[in-house]
Structure 1
Amino acid sequence: MKQTRLAAIDIGTNSIRSIVIETSGNGKYRILDDEKVLARLGEGLHQTGAIAPAAWERAIEALTRQKKIIDGYKVSAIDAVATSAVRKASNGAELVRAIKKSTGLEIEVVSGEEEAELAALSAQHNFELEGVRHLIFDIGGGSLELISALGTHTEEMLSLELGAVFLTESFLKSDPVLGTEHQKLRKHIRKSLKTAYTGERTGMQCLVGSGGTVTAIAAMVAAARKEKFDSLHGYELLRSEIVHLLAMLARKSDKERRAVPGLNPERSDIIVAGVTVVDELMDFFQVNHLKVNERGIREGLILRGLRRRNLLPEKKLRSWRDSALEFAHSCHIDEGHAEHVARLSLQLFKALAPRYGWGPKEMRLLDAAAIMHDVGYFISYSSHHKHSYHLIRHADLFGFTPRERELMANIARYHRKSVPKKKHEEFTRLSPDDQLLVARLGGILRLCDGLDRRRNAVVHGVDCALTQDTLELTLNGEEEMSVELYGAKAKSDLLQEACKVRLVLHCGVSESQ
């Protein structure tokens, strides 16, 4: 199938970002290059109404370099947009002409509503939002875009002058930030939201946020939690964490903020204003849960470009399970074995769930890990359980947070060979609660993998009887099951240890058959 390469450039108030992708026209794409420059195009714009000469030069320099990089990939098209700063500046149109002359780039200056549409396009592509009332927002340097929606049905779309650079220059003059200044900033944000938003505020189930402020918040919270992920896309934050983070940042000087783990020092001067906007948004809509969309407007540009060129199929409802199966297929797994192990695993899960208070979230972790547990074969049979860990951890799986990917990777890793040990760095960096969850769910998967030792679904199902210290399993099937019985006994160690139960196994038919 022919590969098409496209590029997108987002010229924002604070940063200029470019991305190059390759697609086969099936709606999926892979990123070939991703470049970001903090050009601070909006620096001083609030005071003068124009883009400053230094910012102008930084933008031209960044775009000249990015255009050369893009040209190297021989893309078939470039979609480039400029947002709040260029839109507002008295010399914005002049800058667009200068960019065209210097780089050959055709820049589209988009409205605030178009920015919001691009942010929504990205969020709906990346998160399970069907039937969920939610708020999508993107915080840039100059503006804040808001989209309230139920599933894919937009209720209200707004663009407000509540960007991190604009608010910092307008309200936060002192270092550290004075309490009086911060209170004025809060009041301004609240008044702006109350004046502009006319829809129903109650019943909002979650917020999906994008932009540099949001990813910076996620990085700081992850650092405080001592969590290390390759990507923070899909990371989940609680309101309490935002409140505590803001209180800490507001007390510090700019020099002290530069040393905060997870925060890019180049964002230290505008981070208080940005986090305040997020805090006020969560308070305004009374939402406790924020999901991080690392991709935002630039991905929205890519998706819009794919759609315009008929390279994006009609949207189909995606699910986390479809995503896991799709990834497993790409690694050429034995689907029959994977699905059978998943079915048996869920039978054991239902027996143990009431004891441990497990619900749908834990169930899907086990189900998906079971589907993907053998993806490591794609690399090599030898140590394939370790390869499965790395492949799952780095996979782009729809509907899962970074923490959930890490948990599934560990669950799959322990389906064979060693049980968790202190020398296993991937396991020991989990929280104690997550370590226990991995051991228990991994124990279930490990046992059920043994129950399909011959990979021919001889064990049709399992009847489970759980007492205080004993888990009794009766294997149901129509054929002789001695190999499966042996496989289950050999792989029952982790489950027995993690769940503190003695395992008793029976065959539902005569073992001599």
Structure 2
Amino acid sequence: MSIEIPNNPMNPQKLLAAIDMGSNSFKLFIIRALPNGRFVTVDRLKDPVLLSRSLISTSPSPSPSQTLLPLHSQTRALASLRHFSLIIRHHCISSPPTVVATSALRSASNRQDLLSRIHEELGFHVNVISGEEEARLIYLGVLQFLPVFSKTTLAVDIGGGSTEFVIGKQGQVIFATSLQLGHVSLTESFIKDGEIVNMRNHIRRVIIESGLVEKVKEIGFDIAVGCSGTIRSIERSVFLGFGNERSARVGFGEDFGRGWRFSREELGVIVERLLCGEEVRRVGFSKRRAEFIVAGAVLLLEIFDALGIGEMEVSEYALGEGVIAEMLARDCESFDVNANARWRSVVRVASRFNDEKRMKSNLQCAGIAKEIFEGLRRCEEFIDHHNNSMVSLDDKDLEYLEAAILLHSVGLVMGKKGYHKQSYHIIKNRDHLYGYNDEEVELIALLARYHRKKFPTCEHHPLQSFTKEKFRVLCVIMRICLALHKSQWMTFQGLEISHSHEGFRLVLTELKDQSLLSTSAELMSSNIEAELGLELKHFKQVFQQRLSIIIPSNT
């Protein structure tokens, strides 16, 4: 029986792209759409174009219609989008990306010059969205990350040239506004001249004159959420222990299990340390954030005080993911903005403890695992040789497998030694895997625990309703896909699973590395099998059949 897998990991039909032309940076999001509106980020790039820094005022008191975007900034923007276009083509995405532009282009009276150049050269249609529309999409992005659908949510996004505020509930926007307060523009106008007091007075004046405080008090909110890079960086600093008055620890805070949140007091400590002139890296911020973090942190503290915010939750998702959710809502009839809370909670914990490089690697592994899983599922149902019963795989099993792969490396945050055991404890001790019962959390944690070192025996598996042999099937799939991804021979773009009386065959297709074409297919297959020796031994132990790794000679 030979089976060709239809859902190739690199299948362009499942990939979508979106571009956020922000005032501070341009961002490219490449996502893989999953059933029922789920999505995973395949690639995410950020380019600090700093358009808001380049705007030229045409009057002493600039209004949104009295600034110009100089030619050199337009050239820089085009160069960034050209690079994004190459990445999109590399991923073989046939449909054009959805491109939105925000504050800097909203306020540039000559923006049409740049938009025309972009369309003529790259074919991109850029939608310059209003501040209110930007706020709505930010709220939609927040709903993809945090389980706040039923709560009256105040979302705050600090950008380079403006800050967006939105209050929403059950997917509907109640109020949205945009204020011309951004960390780049405030830095340019005040921080460089050391005018902290004047900056604070300016922020307070803009907030008061906007009527924001009265509107927020009128509507009220159950929870405040921050969702910009500035706010995420502040939360990360607090999480690392730098929002503690008593110490400036390098390492994780005592409250290791805390969620994505920080208090007004913790924010105040961060601002105080920054204003005292302490080196930003000693306060937990990266070099990239150094230039604008003082203005961003002071602005956020003024927002806290003006709106009476005592604590703020933090969302990893914002405008870009909101744009993606909007795309999926148009294309997926079964899309539900409040669905898939389970999947979002897995992504949330994975993002918490994995850096961007590990997240990208784990998502690639999940793609490989899905193809192996689907290929095996299409082959004959597996026999549990211990109990002489059938072992079949279903969609929930795939969900558990994907979750475990995204979370298997979270223990590395504590160091490399024994990290698989740390991953188990982090997953088990978290209270944010929403929608999973205790046994499902235990299953995901055990898969992470046994992805390396000792292979689990039946005695090591304490689950009740989940069969021991099925657990070992998922475990061996996970080990093989992780080993394949780590292999120096991981140069393929597709794979196929087939089965015969001789056993299973895993065929790697579409080599990417042209330098390997001179190496014989037989030698490469032999080398891969040598690298995966232990994993292939475990496969035979579970399936009672051999798995061969094949690279076709005509590749």
Pick the TM interval, shorter chain. Answer: 0.5 to 0.7
Tell me which of 163, 187, 193 is aligned to 2:182: 163
Structure 2 CA distance for partners of 1:55 and 1:223, relative to 1, 3 Å: farther
Q: What is the aligned counterpart of 2:33 among 17, 23, 30?
A: 23
SS at match of 1:126: coil
Change (3 A) 1:87 1:392: farther
TM-superposed deviation, 1:127? 1.1
Q: Distance in 2 between matches of 1:112 and 1:132?
A: 23
Counterpart amino acid of residue 237 in structure 1: F
Task: Please tell me the residue identity of whatever aligns with 1:221.
Answer: V
Q: Distance in 2 between matches of 1:218 and 1:386?
A: 24
| Alignment: residue pair count | 367
What does the per-residue CA deviation read over 1:415-464, in whole Å, with 9 as the maximum and x for residues that have no partner?
A: 999xxxxxxxxxxxxxxxxxxxxxxxxxxxxxx986969989xxxxxxxx
Looking at structure 2, the residues matched to 283 and 214 of structure 1 have their Cα atoms a distance apart, in angstroms, of: 16
Provide the secondary structure at the position in 2 that maps to 1:26.
helix
Q: CA deviation at 1:117?
A: 1.0
How far apart, CA to CA, are the structure 2 residues paired with 1:321 and 1:307? 17
Identify the match of residue 292 of structure 2 among 250, 257, 270: 270
Q: Secondary structure at the match of 1:291?
A: strand
Measured in 1, the distance between the counterparts of 2:101 and 2:251 equals 35
Q: State the distance in 1 between where 2:258 and 2:78 align.
A: 30
Correspondence 1:219 to 2:240? no
Match of 2:306 in 1: 284
Matching residue within 318, 322, 325 for 1:303: 325
Look up the SS of the partner of 1:224 in the other structure: coil
Query: Is the alpha carbon distance of 1:90 and 1:264 closer, same or farther for their aligned partners in structure 2, counting shifts above 3 Å?
Result: farther
CA offsets per residue over residues 6-40 of structure 1, 9 Å max, x none? 10000010000001111134211222111001010
Could you tell me which residue of structure 1 aligns to residue 21 of structure 2? 11
- Whichever residue aligns with residue 128 of structure 1, its letter is P
Mapping of 1:410-489 within 5 angstroms? 412=445
Q: Distance in 2 between matches of 1:223 and 1:134?
A: 26
Structure 1 residue 93 displacement after superposition: 1.2
Cα displacement (A) at 1:278: 1.5
One-letter amino acid of the structure 1 residue matched with residue 273 of structure 2? M
Select the residue among 191, 198, 208 that pairs with 2:215: 198
Q: C-alpha offsets along residues 399-424 of structure 1, whole Å, 9 cap, x if unaligned?
A: 559xxxxxx89x9579999xxxxxxx
For residues 118-160 of structure 1, the C-alpha deviation after alignment (integer angstroms, 9 at most, x for no partner) is: 1010111221214423201211111111111344343211111
Q: Which residue of structure 2 aligns with residue 187 of structure 1?
A: 204
**Which residue among 57, 67, 72 is the counterpart of 2:90?**
72
1:425 maps to: none
Cα displacement string for residues 222-260 of structure 1 (whole angstroms, at most 9, x for unaligned residues): 33354569xx9962111111111112212328xx43x34
| Candidates 212, 222, 225, aligned match of 1:208 | 225
Q: Distance in 2 between matches of 1:46 and 1:68?
A: 30
Q: Which residue of 2 aligns with 1:421?
A: none
- Stretches of structure 2 lacking an aligned partner (at least 5 in a row): 1-5, 8-12, 59-66, 243-249, 351-369, 374-399, 409-417, 435-440, 451-459, 469-555
Alpha-carbon deviation of 1:89?
Answer: 0.5
Write out per-residue CA displacement over residues 168-214 of structure 1, whole angstroms, 9 at most, x where no aligned residue.
Answer: 2333342xx34432432343344245457524268533211112211
Q: Which residue of 1 aligns with 2:246?
A: none
Are residue 42 (structure 1) and residue 52 (structure 2) matched? yes
1:358 — aligned with what? none
Q: Which amino acid aligns with 2:208?
A: K
How far apart, in 1, do the equivalents of 2:345 and 2:197 lie? 49
- Counterpart of 1:236, as a letter, is R
Q: Return the letter of the residue paired with 2:233.
A: A
Q: Which amino acid aligns with 1:114?
A: E
Which amino acid in structure 2 is aligned with residue 185 of structure 1?
A: H
Q: Which deviations, in whole Å up to 9, do the C-alpha atoms of 1:363-393 show, x marking residues without a partner?
A: xxxxxxxx99x969x99xxxxx975754896
Q: Percent identity?
A: 27
1:115 deviates by 0.4
Residue 502 of structure 2 aligns with which residue? Answer: none
Match 1:235 to one of 241, 247, 260: 260
Letter in 2 for 1:249: L
Q: Secondary structure at the match of 2:329?
A: helix
Task: Write the deviation string for residues 295-342 of structure 1: whole angstroms up to 9, x where unpaired.
Answer: 210111111111122266234455569967xx9xx999xxxxxxxxxx
The answer for unaligned runs of 5 or more in structure 1 is 333-370, 380-384, 402-407, 418-447, 457-513
What amino acid maps onto 1:165 in structure 2? V
Change (3 A) 1:46 1:276: farther
Deviates more, 1:145-154 or 1:30-39: 145-154
| Alpha-carbon distance in structure 2 between the residues aligned to 1:107 and 1:144 | 21
**Distance in 1, Cα, partners of 2:294 & 2:224:** 19
DSSP 3-state at the match of 2:43: strand
Q: Secondary structure at the match of 2:52?
A: coil
Partners of 1:78 and 1:233 in 2: how far apart?
37
Paired residue type of 1:204: F
- Give the 5 Å matches for 1:338-357: none
RMSD, aligned α-carbons: 4.4
Distance 1:181 1:128 in 2: 38
Partner of 1:126: 145
Find the aligned partners of 1:158 and 1:95 in 2 and give their Cα distance: 26
Where 1:162 maps in the other structure, the secondary structure is coil
**For the structure 1 residues 153 and 219, does the alpha-carbon distance in structure 2 shift closer, same or farther, using more than 3 Å as the test?**
same
Q: 241-250 or 123-132: which moved more? A: 123-132
Q: Secondary structure at the match of 1:67?
A: helix
Compared CA separation, residues 455 and 103, structure 1 to 2 (3 A): closer
Structure 1 partner of 2:271: 246
Letter matched to residue 220 of structure 1: S
**Distance in 2 separating the partners of 1:93 and 1:398:** 49
Report the AA paired with residue 198 of structure 1.
K
The equivalent position to 2:157 in structure 1, one of 138, 147, 150, is 138
1:10–1:80 Cα contact (<8 Å) kept: yes
Instruction: Decide which moves more: 210-219 or 190-199.
Output: 190-199
Asked whether the equivalents of residues 206 and 288 of structure 1 are also in contact (C-alpha less than 8 Å), the reply is no
CA deviations 1:457-484 (Å, max 9, x no partner) are xxxxxxxxxxxxxxxxxxxxxxxxxxxx
- Counterpart in 1 of 2:168? 149
Determine if contact 1:128/1:399 at 8 Å carries over to the other structure.
no
Judged with a 3 Å threshold, the aligned counterparts in structure 2 of structure 1 residues 193 and 221 are, in CA distance, closer, same or farther, namely farther
2:287 partner letter:
P
CA distance in structure 1 between the partners assigned to 2:117 and 2:214 by the alignment: 37
Measure how far apart 1:52 and its partner are. 2.8
User: 1:100 maps to what in 2?
Assistant: 119
d(CA) in 1 for partners of 2:102, 2:283: 30
